[in-house]
Structure formats: structure tokens, C-alpha cells
Amino acid sequence: MISMTSIPRSIRRAMTLTRRAFLGTMAAVPVAPFRGAAPRFYGAPPVDAHALRSRIEALSIFGRPAGGTFADGVSRVAYSDADVGGRRYVIGLMKAAGLSPTIDPAGNIFGRRAGTDASLPLILFGSHIDSVPDGGNFDGDLGSLAALGVIEACDRAGVRTRHPLEMVVWAHEEGVAFGRGLAGSRIVAGDLKPGDIDQEWNGLKRADGIRKIGGDPARIGDARRPKGSWHAYLELHIEQGGALERAGVPVGVVEGIVSIDRYEATIAGFANHAGTTPMNERQDALLAASHLTIAVREIVTRDAGRQVGTVGRLDVKPNAANVIPGEVSLTIELRDLSTAKLRALAEEIRARAARIAAATKTTIAMRLSSENPPALATPAVQEAIERASTALGLQSMRMPSGAGHDAQMMAQLGPMGMIFVPSVGGISHSPKELTRWEDCANGANVLLGALLTLDRL
Ligand SMILES: [Zn+2]
């Protein structure tokens, strides 16, 4: 989410030191998952924090840069050899825990633990283990390995849930391969278009990639699950932003994954000689684009709230030093949990664009080019997460997710909730991504508590 190049070098160096020092000192220190006495949820002991940590460290070997350490992050892009190795490692852990892992035609890994009432739907929980290139060791890995830890904790105490429990490791979550994100969960949610698995990326056919990770492209449609397939879906994930750390709160209760509206704005001016055209006669499309960029910021920040707006792409024509820019196209991306709020912001931006056009003697056309509806977390699931946090003596706060997650696909099929734990410095999709081991363990225990709470509903 954050480009490291935008962070001053001095701070980057300080973060590196902090992280290395942190990892170095933690090596000898026992993990303390609880701030108070370890509570038990309906007889379940806490998730094994030591095992969780050692597995996150072991998984990081698959995709680690040559000669590197845990602190150097991971490149485990979906369908790569590293991805296959990491998946094999996790499948081995699942088997050792007594599960019989299955791989669906899309390549998603599932492991089921029976409940006492076979007529009840599953409680599904998990995350992903693929990464971006030069990514971190916590994005997805934490939620996947914590899911296994939760099942083991139930086994250790002989806890029988009413609903069957199912852990999942989603295939191909990051939008690196084939430019497609949430690919495995998307197929399960039924979002699969003809030709999708015929795509090619870096010389790899998607169908071959799916085969490589144990899926079956010939039966890809069978991966789809109907609405109501489960009682609830839960995902533990690192925040990937800095809100929890800033607030000093260890647990985030996700209210939903934000809606994303993208607008394509095309500004037409008049390309002319930069030396001979007087300033008052110019129709400078880039000048208009600059005003528009500032207007987006002003309009988005005028009211309190967590809405964000970005002009992140700009194409200037002819883009030459001695020519007044004649045409600019740019994207305006708006994100918030409320679609209505996004549309109201866009209307204000549109009105302001008309005034900017008049003042700069240009024309500005704005077109909605893509829209992603929000995926709202289910209130009962949010409450279960809050109750579990409170029982553990952990403060929690509600927050939106500005990043996409497999959970948004699962929201299309049934009740969904997500647990966030703090990202140090708000950094993610970087080798410097870091979540304290204590926060990892806390998140795993909140996951356990929340799903046992949901089991009683
Ligand atoms: Zn992730």
C-alpha cells in the first residue's frame, strides 16, 4: 500500500534498524500472547503462539531472496515454485494436525474438522499465502497459519463445536499474476468469465498455473459454492495501514471493505507554442489538471470521515518541454464504505471541474470507469470479534479496510467478518512489513474466540 520510495531515507533506515533490532531481541524472548491471565473460550486453550511464530518464520523460507533472512521478506507470487513449496509446507502442517486437506478445482486448500451437528453449515476461516514480489512475511501468512492454530487449540482441549470448522488457504490472492486479485475466492464466489483461465502472463497459461498448484481447470466451475454455504467466514489479517498503531489499539474490527469508484477525466485544451503564446491566451490542459487534483483533495478532506481520494495517474499530451499541454487524461479514485458518499463526492468534483474548465478555457469530461461495491462485515460477526477481544482484555476499534481481501468475495455468499492486527509503521507489501509476535498471537486468539462465539449463535 505504501511506496517505500516516498519515505525519507533516514526514516527508512530507522525502520530497518528497529525491525532488525526487534527481530534480534525477540529471538531470545518468550512470546507473551496475553497482557493478563490467559482466558479460555468455552474450554479452548489459547492458540500456540510459539508454533504460530515458528511456522510464519519457516514459511518465509519459500520465496526468500537468496542468502537473505526473515527480515528480507518474501517473493512468493502465485503459481511460482515458491508458492508451490509454501503450499506443500502448509499442507504438511495440516496433515500433521490430523486434517485431510483437499484442493478445490481453483487451487484453494481446505481442511475440515467435524462438528457435533452435521446438518449445520461450516464456519470457514483462513487467508492466503501468495505474496507480491518483494513482499512481507505477515500479509496472508498470519491468517492462514493462525487458522491452523485455532483448529489445533480446539483439538488439544477436545472442544467440540456444533458447526464443522473449515480452514482455507486461498489461492492467488494478490493481483500480481494475470493482473487479477482475489482469484481463488473469486471463483468460489462464482465470478468467473469465459476465457478467464485462458489468460497468459509471463509465458504461463492460467490453466497451467492452476494445474501446477493442484487445481483442475477442466472442472473449474465446480469450485463455485452456493450462497449460504457457511454459517460465517472469518479472516485474520494484518492491517497494512497505520491506524491501529497510531491509536495504540491491538485489535481492529473491520466494518467492511471499502467501495472503490474510479473516474477517467479527460481535459481538452489547445497545444501551442510555449514561447510565443501569451499567458492570458493559453488553454493549458495540465494547468486545469493541477487545479482539479487540488480540488479532489479539498473536497475529500473537507468533511470528517475516512473517505480517501487520489489522482494517481496522469497522461499529458504532447508532454514536451516547449509545448503547452493540449490534452490530459487522469484518474480520480475515491474510496469509502458508503457508495452514496462516494457519489456525492463525485458530484462535487464534477461541479468544481466545470468551474475549472471555464477558468482555464478547457473542457473537462468525467466518466465513471469502474466501480467496486463495498463488502460490509456482518454486524453479528463484528460483535463476536468485539466480545472475543474484550474477553482477552484487548481493546478493539471498528475500522474500514482500505485494501481488498478474499473476505469481500465471501461477503457475497454469507456472513463475513475480519480481524485486523497492527502493522508496524503502517508498512505492507514490503520486506519491512512487520507485526509484533504478541499482536499475531492476540489476533489468533481473537479469531478462536470469535468463531467459538459464532458457533453458539
Ligand atoms: Zn493479504
CA 261 centroid distance within chain: 17
DSSP 302-313: HSSSS-EEEEEE
Residue 308 near residue 335, CB atoms below 8 Å? yes
How would residue 371 be classed by pLDDT, with cut points 50, 70 and 90? confident
Is the confidence at residue 47, as pLDDT, over 60? yes
pLDDT at 12: 41
| Ligand 1 centroid – CA 342 distance (Å) | 25
pLDDT at 351: 98
| Ligand 1 centroid – CA 306 distance (Å) | 21
For residue 301, the tally of other CB atoms under 10 A from its CB is: 12
| Ligand 1 centroid – CA 441 distance (Å) | 17
For residue 218, the tally of other CB atoms under 10 A from its CB is: 12
Is the confidence at residue 403, as pLDDT, over 80? yes
| Ligand 1 centroid – CA 128 distance (Å) | 6
Distance in angstroms (rounded) separating the CA atoms of residues 63 and 291: 44
Summarize pLDDT for 288-310 with one digit per residue, the tens.
Answer: 999 999 999 999 999 999 999 99
Summarize pLDDT for 433-444 with one digit per residue, the tens.
Answer: 999 999 999 999
Is the confidence at residue 90, as pLDDT, over 60? yes
Lowest mean pLDDT among 22-36, 41-55, 231-245, 382-396: 22-36
Summarize pLDDT for 319-367 with one digit per residue, the tens.
Answer: 999 999 999 999 999 999 999 999 999 999 999 999 999 999 999 999 9
| Ligand 1 centroid – CA 89 distance (Å) | 19
| Ligand 1 centroid – CA 236 distance (Å) | 10
| Ligand 1 centroid – CA 139 distance (Å) | 4
Mean pLDDT of 405-409: 96
pLDDT at 175: 82
pLDDT at 18: 42
How would residue 45 be classed by pLDDT, with cut points 50, 70 and 90? confident
Residue 356 near residue 292, CB atoms below 8 Å? yes
pLDDT at 262: 92
pLDDT at 10: 39
What residues have CB less than 8 Å from 176, skipping those under 6 apart?
A: 77, 78, 130, 132, 133
| Ligand 1 centroid – CA 174 distance (Å) | 7
C-alpha cell at 223: 469450485
For residue 263, the tally of other CB atoms under 10 A from its CB is: 23
CA distances to 76, 127, 294, 327, 411 from 287, rounded to whole Å, are: 42, 45, 11, 10, 42
DSSP 207-269: HHHHHHTT--GGGGGGG---TT-EEEEEEEEE-SSSHHHHHT-SEEEEEEEPEEEEEEEEEE-
Distance in angstroms (rounded) separating the CA atoms of residues 78 and 406: 14
| Ligand 1 centroid – CA 143 distance (Å) | 9
**Taking the model in full, what pTM does it have?**
0.83
- Share the mean pLDDT of the chain: 91
Residue 407: left if φ>0, alpha if ψ -120 to 50, beta else—which one?
Answer: alpha
| Ligand 1 centroid – CA 270 distance (Å) | 45
